[in-house]
Structure 1
Amino acid sequence: RELGPEKDLKPFGLEQPPLVVSFTAGGQSHTLNIGTKAPGGNSYYARRDQDPRVLIIPSSTRESLDRPLSDLRNRALFDFSPEQVRSLQVKTGAVPVVLEKKDGRWIWAGKEAVKIYPDRVDRLLRFMSLARVKEFVPDPPKDLKTIGLANPALELTVETEKGEQRLFLGFRKNNLCYARQGDQAPVVLMESLLLDLFTVPLESVADLRQNPLWENVHGAFPGYLEDRRLWTGEVKDVAGLTWGLPGKTWTAVKNEDFFKLTGPDKQELRQPAVRVEVALLKLRDLEAERRPSGKNETRADYLVELRGADAQPLFRLEELAVSSGQVKVRYAAGSESPLEALVPKQAFDKWRQEMEQIIMPPPAAHENGKKTEGKAKTGN
């Protein structure tokens, strides 16, 4: 609020103000002088430029302005949103990896035959867009070799319609690493997790093991960008499914926001669509680690079939055998010929657990003050 013009500024601490903030707005320079506390202790006297009027501003405003210079500096290392990116260049050695977005698809320049998992590129870009400076290095060494920035361990270049943005990453310092935005930018310290995402096998990074977006991703960049998923369809296209042990299968048919389930003993359940879709998302996360060798299996221990509208086949998966932390499966999309693959047992088991959750009845209703309990099982 405004107190009005005052000739004597001394009582307000504005004759020689303890805090002066200079800034530019609309191409013009301005000054805000902040004096002593006003009665009550929750506000301060202030004055704009040479205006004789005395103002009262909240204490929170003064506190937000009275900060070290390092707190006021821009800590963002990139300025883009993932959907704006046209290309990403990653250099960790002599030959950079260049990913280009064409017609909404990510292409690995020079290796166009490799199918890229688009969600993973988007996750990397989102992580990069959120990268922040942890510390500004006040006196960096003249010889940048000592901190790994003369020949950076990692160079990232992002191109948008506004041009290129670059970031160099060097040696680690505890859980941080040295970085700079190009050759002339100041040296800073940032979290080393971005360096990890591009330079080491992801299963070795402790901070990613409990992250649902990365916990099932194995290998190092750029290998983990290859789309090895067994099923790449859309969950929204699934109108029905069958799953379970041979001879003891369940079926589910979608009806608007619910699925009607029928068990092997003709028991029925009605589940919210989202509960089934969570399991389908886990299914879509399953990836082939490699193709199996040896004889082809014929007997399936577990199966799932997905159907679309008019009951057309979308996907079929059969569990064939388990050994050495891997599950051997046979799968086929639509009317394509079936293939066999080895998938990580941990990821496969998590998906199986989600399928078991589908046949768990909703929380038991109270009837006459008592709970009715029930559970349907597929058997093992």
Structure 2
Amino acid sequence: MKTFRNTIIMFVILGVLVGYYYYIKATKKPAPSTNIISISKNKLSSIDIKDSNNEMAIVKSGSAYKVIKPISYAADNTNASDLFNSLTQLKYNRKFTDTDLKKYGLDKSNFTITASSSNGNTEELIVGNKSPVGNSYYAKLSNSQYIYVVDASSIENFQLTSSDTLFNYLNKDLYTISKDKISKVTYTDSFGTRYMQKNKSGKWTYNGKEISSDKSESFLNDIVLLSPTGIDPNKKINGNNSSFTLAISDGSKNEEVKFLTNDNTNYYIQKNNNQIGLYITKDQLNSLITDVKSIMK
């Protein structure tokens, strides 16, 4: 009888402990968020970054991103998505209040990051000085009293250090037709227009003569691997006799890119009649130009 009573007492104690565990779990408050921007990534529709000399803005539409400042051009979706993610996950190490913003470089800062949501909300983050102790920056939201201490590496993701920063967020695809779908290539320079195309048997030809598989494979690789070297924003040139146009087709879709040069060192890219300052070096075009000349011999 005594053993039975002890067993009941043990079950009662166990029940109390289990009940207490679930009570604590249900009433425990979550740890406070240290995120600075309250807009979630799925609501974030644009980022506008400004410093004393530069500005870059990227907007999101569906799953695609587009750079709209300082130029208008398709963005690299992976890099743009990472940037949006970095902003929504930007965290502070600590926060405090102080009315003297000048000593933190927050009174007249030219470095701002503005986040806008799909429902019209906007949050502007002002970035001030680097802290004298620790590898951090001071920052604050324009509509908040708090000053945040943020890891330097997190802030430096948003710095517009040079045109290389803009270039990093641009789509680098000159052509979208895949290599196996290309059926015709048109090359135009100061000497005229030449065509290379597949015949009915799938062999590449030039002037009715078959091109060796090695030459055609090398030539097609040159085309699909073309990628800009850098950007000189908004620079526009007319080109000289060394300029050329390369168009590819899959039978239903045609894509044309002009490679324009004034000095034969950099070729500026004009796509869809639009120049935004993207360029590719002559060294990177050498293989393509060499293969074209080899085919046209």
**TM-score normalised to the size of structure 1?**
0.46
Asked if the contact 2:223–2:288 (Cα under 8 Å) also holds between the matched residues in 1, the reply is no
State the match for 1:165 in structure 2.
123
Residue 148 in 1 paired to residue 148 in 2? no
Residue 268 in 1 paired to residue 213 in 2? yes
Asked if the contact 1:244–1:378 (Cα under 8 Å) also holds between the matched residues in 2, the reply is no
Q: Please report how far the alpha carbon of residue 29 of structure 1 lies from its aligned counterpart in structure 2 after TM superposition.
A: 0.8
State the match for 1:352 in structure 2.
285
Q: Please report how far the alpha carbon of residue 241 of structure 1 lies from its aligned counterpart in structure 2 after TM superposition.
A: 2.5
State the match for 1:315 in structure 2.
256
Q: Greater RCO between the two (CA within 8 Å, min separation 6)?
A: 2
Residues 108-151 of structure 1: CA distance to partner in whole angstroms, max 9, x if unpaired?
6xx9xx86124169845641431455651366655232112334
Alignment map for 1:122-271 (pairs within 5 Å): 123-124=79-80, 126-131=82-87, 132-133=89-90, 136-137=93-94, 143-162=100-119, 163-173=121-131, 176-181=136-141, 182-185=143-146, 187-190=148-151, 191=153, 192-197=155-160, 200-203=161-164, 216=167, 234-235=176-177, 239-242=183-186, 251=196, 266-269=211-214
Asked if the contact 1:156–1:168 (Cα under 8 Å) also holds between the matched residues in 2, the reply is yes
- 2:114 partner SS: strand
Residue 29 in 1 paired to residue 27 in 2? yes
Q: What is the rounded CA distance, in whole Å, between the counterparts of 2:138 and 2:146 in structure 1?
A: 12
* The one of 55, 63, 73 aligned to 1:117: 73
Indicate how the Cα distance of structure 1 residues 286 and 139 shifts in structure 2: closer, same or farther if over 3 A, else same: closer
Q: What is the rounded CA distance, in whole Å, between the counterparts of 1:97 and 1:286 in structure 2?
A: 14
Asked if the contact 2:244–2:259 (Cα under 8 Å) also holds between the matched residues in 1, the reply is yes
**TM-score normalised to the size of structure 2?**
0.55
Structure 2 stretches of 5 or more lacking a match?
Answer: 1-9
Q: What is the rounded CA distance, in whole Å, between the counterparts of 2:183 and 2:217 in structure 1?
A: 14
Q: What is the rounded CA distance, in whole Å, between the counterparts of 2:275 and 2:118 in structure 1?
A: 43
Asked if the contact 2:175–2:224 (Cα under 8 Å) also holds between the matched residues in 1, the reply is no
Q: Please report how far the alpha carbon of residue 292 of structure 1 lies from its aligned counterpart in structure 2 after TM superposition.
A: 3.8
Indicate how the Cα distance of structure 1 residues 328 and 233 shifts in structure 2: closer, same or farther if over 3 A, else same: closer
- 1:291 partner SS: coil
Q: Would you say how many aligned residue pairs link Structure 1 and Structure 2?
A: 262
Structure 1 stretches of 5 or more lacking a match?
Answer: 9-13, 15-20, 32-68, 209-213, 218-223, 360-376
Q: Please report how far the alpha carbon of residue 189 of structure 1 lies from its aligned counterpart in structure 2 after TM superposition.
A: 1.2
Q: What is the rounded CA distance, in whole Å, between the counterparts of 2:23 and 2:86 in structure 1?
A: 27
Matched AA of 1:307: I
Identity %: 11
Matched AA of 2:148: V
